[in-house]
Amino acid sequence: MTNFQAKQIRELRMRGVGYRAIASVVGLSRDIVRNYCKTHDLDGLATDVRINIKEKMEKGEACLSCGRDLKQPATGRKRKFCSDTCRREWWLHHSDSIKRKETAYYELTCTYCGKEFKVYGNKNRKYCSHSCYVHDRFWRKEEGRAPYIGPSMIKEACYE
Ligand SMILES: [Zn+2]
Ligand SMILES: [Zn+2]
């Protein structure tokens, strides 16, 4: 069990969340959670509230880190954490999932020069560089190639 998991167990338990719900949030078995609470004077505190905290977290109704209720703003991005501290702490202890995200690179072939290039997150990119984009788009006549009949403007805008 990591310090972070221990802290999460403590915080959720103090709010009255049941062992099973805590277990599903921190990713440990219910027995481990229960044993931890018993050995840390956390078993008597709670009134085994039957809320599925994990479901609330997924819906954005509870902080992913401490489980406190979240109020979503009327507009803009959905919040996942109640505070910057919680956000930082959660990411600090979930660096594995960050690493996994960073490998979401696409290996693409430049439409103009044929060079392979890697791009992060945007698989619609067509050119390895701005210069290739310009050549392919505007220098066709000069280079004696067929006129540009290329993709939609939306895809085109993806070069950069
Ligand atoms: Zn929080
Ligand atoms: Zn290129």
Successive 10-residue mean pLDDT values, the chain, 160 residues:
91 84 90 92 64 79 88 86 91 70 76 88 85 86 70 49
Write down the pLDDT at residue 154. Answer: 46
| Ligand 2 centroid, distance to 126 Cα (angstroms) | 8
Q: Cβ distance 93 to 26 under 8 Å?
A: no
Given a contact cutoff of 8 angstroms between Cβ atoms, the answer to whether 16 and 44 are in contact is no
What pLDDT score was predicted for residue 81? 93
Residue 25, Cβ neighbours under 10 Å: how many?
23
CA–CA gap between residue 22 and residue 18 (Å, rounded): 6
Domain covering 105-159 in this structure, CATH number: 3.30.50
pLDDT of residue 58: 84
**Ligand nearest to C-alpha 136:** 2
Ligand 2 center from residue 111 Cα (angstroms)? 7
Question: Strand pairing partners for 69?
Answer: 62
Distance 51 CA to ligand 2 centre (A): 54
CA dist 131 and 89 (Å) reads 42
Q: What is the pLDDT, as a whole number, of residue 157? A: 47
Instruction: Give the ligand whose atoms come closest to the C-alpha of residue 115.
Output: 2
Sorted by where each begins, the domain ranges of the chain are 1-70, 105-159
State in Å: Cα 123 to ligand 2 middle.
Answer: 15
Ligand nearest to the CA of residue 131, numbered in listed order? 2
Dist. CA 19 → ligand 2 center (Å): 56
Pair of tokens at residue 12: 């959720």
- The token duo for 108 is 């693409």
Which ligand gives the minimal distance to the CA of 80? 1
What is the predicted pLDDT for the residue at 104?
72
Q: Which residues pair with 120 in a beta bridge?
A: 105
The rounded Å distance from CA 58 to ligand 1 centre is 14
